[in-house]
Chains A and B, each alone.
Chain A
């Protein structure tokens, strides 16, 4: 009969240790999750910034392409005008 309370005490102590460990793991998990979420949000921001840089570069290239087309058209028109003007 005297063994039962002792094993109960051991069990209770083990239970307490398990609870402490559970809380420690929970805190660790929360902190890792928080750090991971932060990393994900930074990565998202970085990817958005890269997308914006690409967009700006492509818009600039499109603008240059249009300007080049205009210059070509202008030169062609001048050539046509000049070729009919002197003959």
Chain B
């Protein structure tokens, strides 16, 4: 897919909804998409959960169908945070209609591999219904994640 390097998130129809120390959160109401862009190389679990609890409110109030998680700034992920987000948060959000998840990882093969190792057993923890219907994919940019 051809990518326009100078396309900003605002050009893609997003408006910044809120900012915290570790992230900027954007909302595209028309398309029903939320994009969370992490800003730091590590997010402590307390801040992570607080951030996602705020995103939950946006998901519920705006009938969000797609969530884009831009983790390119991350260098360390906290496994319990990831488990909570992957299993509990996604399951809860699924009940509210959020079924499409797009993730953007740092351009570091070792990081992608580390995520993959932890991710595999987590997918097995989803209920059969969620496993069959949830659509989780990796993309290289926000633009690509919006389009597919």
Which residues on the B side are within 8 Å of A42 (C-beta)?
42, 44
Which residues on the B side are within 8 Å of A60 (C-beta)?
113, 117
One of A45, A46, A56 near B114 (C-beta < 8 A): A56
Which residues on the B side are within 8 Å of A46 (C-beta)?
42, 44, 76, 78
Q: How large is the interface on A (under 10, 10 to 19, 20 to 34, 35 or more residues)?
A: 10 to 19
The answer for the CA separation of A87 and B79 in the assembled complex, in Å, is 56
Are B45 and A57 touching (Cβ within 8 A)? Answer: no
**B interface residues with partner A (beta carbon < 8 Å):** 42, 44-45, 76-79, 110, 113-114, 117-118
Query: B22: shortest Cβ distance to chain A, in Å?
Result: 11
For B45, give the chain A residue with the smallest CB separation. A45
Which residues on the A side are within 8 Å of B117 (C-beta)?
56-57, 60
**A interface residues with partner B (beta carbon < 8 Å):** 42, 45-46, 48-50, 52-53, 56-57, 60
The answer for the CA separation of A49 and B78 in the assembled complex, in Å, is 5
10 A-B pairs besides A48-B78, A56-B117 with CB distance below 8 A are: A42-B44, A45-B44, A45-B78, A49-B77, A53-B76, A53-B77, A53-B114, A56-B114, A56-B118, A60-B113
Which residues on the A side are within 8 Å of B76 (C-beta)?
46, 49-50, 53
One of A49, A50, A52, A57 near B113 (C-beta < 8 A): A57
